[in-house]
Amino acid sequence: MIRVYLEVYGCQMNEDDASRLTTILEQGGCMLAESPELADVVLLHTCSVREKPEQRVYAFANRMQWLKRKNPGLVLGIGGCVAKQEGRALLERFWGIDFLFDSYSLHKIPELLRAVRESSSHVAMNTMLMDQPEDFDESLFPCNNKTHGPTAFLTIMQGCDHKCSFCIVPHVRGPEVSRSSRAILMHARRLVGQGVRELVLLGQNVNRYGKHTQDITFPELLRELDRIPGLERIRFTTSNPTDADDSLVECFASLRTVCPHLHLPVQSGSDRILGLMRRGYTRKDYLAIVERLRQARPDIALTTDLIVGFPTETDEDFQSTLRLVEEVGFDSSFSFKYSKRPLTEAEKMEGQVSKEVKEERLAILQDVTQRIAQKSLLKAIGSSQEVLVEKPSKMSKEEVMGRTLHNKAVVFFGNQSLVGKIVPVLIIEALRHTLRGQLDG
Ligand code: SAH
Ligand code: F3S
């Protein structure tokens, strides 16, 4: 058995990659190790969308090189965005890195590791397992017989054909690639058979699913998934507002399983900044989509991503963002300080905003978004909500945690046997980010 230590930083898509990689490794004759010291192989999988993970990768690679001095047979592989972004330069900079991989080549790792094991002396391999396929290789989505929790991620596409000027994703994940709908539906049925009741469909821009493969469209895919007996809830992320058309809006009105919750990143409320970001919509367009969604599903919960301090952002632009946030009344939002990412158009723009101004704007924005989010939590008090129970609560053994249809976390007194069930919960209190309730009836 090859012992592999896997470390992961990053986004939901990386988490999904990592959990599939675990299965691929296990099925490929490897077992997971608890620490790098107990491993024959160390893999690091990262995401570089916002933070500066380069530094973390370099620090990690340095630590592993030290370990390799003691254990020269140790094999080190780095995957994900940083590997893709830096390419050969990363292999040249660190003698200790043996190979790089990306999310399209996870299934090739066990074979590579077996080849190293079979060659008697370990030499730095200098291998790049990197592909830009037209199509997903279904070996990337291995079956496993493990029982699942009640909710599971399901990757349906990757990459992005948009070129938002701040975003590194198209540069590191490449253009859009969709899985076949047949494979997705089989995978979904399998997960439901293993106890999954809620699917979270993943892709950088799920609304463009199937565009390149002449497969069914995203709303059609939702319709097919909706027919799976035993599947109760579907969520998906992420949707670019330009691709959220009426056929998507209609799904919120008509499909049994589609939850009344949409993450619809707006980024800014200023048309000038939206233009520079190359988002492809105006503030007015965004508000019109929100209105259509609310007509289709009046209780829909909307969440968003916001960036402050994009190059040239003035106080006035920032005020427009604040006004938009108030106007829409997001149920929750993620706000970020703009950061320069390599390979992107905005990296070279004039008028970069100072760190102090970005910090100040972020603090103001977060105050406002937190107040609005709190309002939406308070509104739930006194209502009965259908809660899908996910797991025991972190705080107490007598409590469990679940989510409402609107994706709000709820804790309540309850037995662990409730995990996986959908139960009515009366909401009695709003905490900072979660609700507290009690079993209803
Ligand atoms: N569609 C993608 C979006 C990826 S990035 C997805 O799969 O989720 C997620 C969020 O990070 C973006 O919506 C944006 O708000 C933020 N972000 C991306 N690049 C950024 C940058 N350079 N600086 C600050 N925030 C950024
Ligand atoms: Fe990034 Fe814009 Fe695509 S944010 S992932 S380039 S839609």
pLDDT at 146: 74
**How far apart are the C-alpha atoms of 393 and 324, rounded to whole Å?**
35
Ligand 1 center to residue 431 CA distance, Å? 27
Tokens of 24: 């691929």
pLDDT at 218: 97
Instruction: Output the CA 162–ligand 2 centroid distance in Å.
Output: 6
CATH number at residue 152: 3.30.750.210
Q: Give the H or E element holding residue 260.
A: none
Same domain, yes or no: 253 and 193: yes
Of 97 and 125, the one with more pLDDT: 97
Per-residue pLDDT for 304 more than 80? yes
- Does residue 124 surpass a pLDDT of 70? no
Is there a domain that residue 420 lies in? yes
Structure-token match 């494979």, residue found: 183
Q: What is the pLDDT of residue 116?
A: 80
Residue 206 has pLDDT above 70, yes or no: yes
- pLDDT of amino acid 240: 93
Question: In total, how many domains does the chain have?
Answer: 4
Q: pLDDT value at position 12?
A: 78
Kindly state whether residues 95 and 150 are assigned to the same domain. no
Residue 141, in any domain of the structure: yes
Q: Who has greater pLDDT, 143 or 225?
A: 225
Binning pLDDT at 50, 70 and 90, where does residue 395 land?
confident
Q: How far apart are the C-alpha atoms of 67 and 370, rounded to whole Å?
A: 44
pLDDT > 70? residue 120: no
Alpha carbon separation from 196 to 80, 151, 179 (Å, rounded): 27, 5, 20
Residue 161 Cα: closest atom of ligand 2:
3
Ligand that lies nearest to the alpha carbon of residue 344, given by its number in the listed order: 1
Pair (148, 182) in one structural domain: yes
- At CB < 8 A and 24+ separation, what contacts does 215-224 make? 215/178, 215/180, 215/181, 216/181, 217/247, 218/248, 219/247, 219/248, 219/250, 219/251, 220/181, 221/156, 221/181, 221/184, 222/251, 222/255, 222/258, 223/251, 223/255, 224/181, 224/185
Q: Which domain holds residue 223?
A: 133-259
Strands (E), 15-150: 30-32, 41-46, 75-80, 99-101, 127-129
Instruction: Give percent above pLDDT 70 in the chain.
Output: 98
Residues 414 and 321 in one domain: no
Kindly report which listed range (72-86, 224-238, 379-393) carries the lowest average pLDDT score.
72-86
Q: Using one digit for the tens of pLDDT, what is the confidence trace for 404-416?
A: 999 999 999 999 9
pLDDT higher than threshold 60 for residue 123: no
Average pLDDT of the segment spanning 128-139: 82
Of the residues 162, 334, 345, which should be mutated to test ligand 2's pocket, given the most ligand atoms within 8 Å of the CB? 162
Q: What is the pLDDT of residue 5?
A: 96
Residue 421: both structure tokens together: 């069930």
Phi, psi dihedrals of residue 68, rounded to the nearest 5°: -70, -25
- Are 369 and 395 within one domain? no
The rounded distance, in Å, linking the Cα atoms of 318 and 285 is: 18
Task: Identify whether 282 is part of a domain.
Answer: no
Q: What is the pLDDT of residues 4-42, one digit of tens each?
A: 999 988 777 888 888 899 999 999 999 999 999 999 999
Per-residue pLDDT band for 82 (boundaries 50, 70, 90) equals: confident
In the prediction, which pLDDT does 142 show? 87
Q: Residue 290: which pLDDT band, with cuts at 50, 70 and 90? A: very high
Question: Which ligand approaches the C-alpha of residue 166 most closely?
Answer: 1
pLDDT confidence tier of residue 52, bands split at 50, 70 and 90: confident
What's the pLDDT score for residue 212?
A: 87
Quick one: tokens of 53? 């993970």
| Residue 227 sits in the same domain as residue 250 | yes
Domain boundary among 330, 351, 379: 379
Single-letter code of the amino acid located at 325: V
The first and second tokens of residue 187, run together, are 């995978």
pLDDT at 121: 57
Max Cα–Cα distance, the chain, nearest Å: 68
Pocket residue to mutate for ligand 2, from 49, 163, 167, most atoms within 8 A of Cβ: 167
Say if 122 falls within a structural domain.
Answer: yes
pLDDT-derived band of residue 122, with 50, 70 and 90 as boundaries? low
CA distance 75 to 308: 41
Q: Which of 438, 399, 395, 405 is nearest to 419 (CA)?
A: 399
CATH number of the domain residue 35 falls in: 3.40.50.2300
**Residue at 392 is within a domain:** yes
Are 301 and 260 a contacting pair, CB within 8 Å? yes
Ligand 2 centroid to Cα of residue 240, in Å, is 7
123 and 60 in a common domain: yes
Q: Does residue 200 sit in the same domain as residue 236?
A: yes
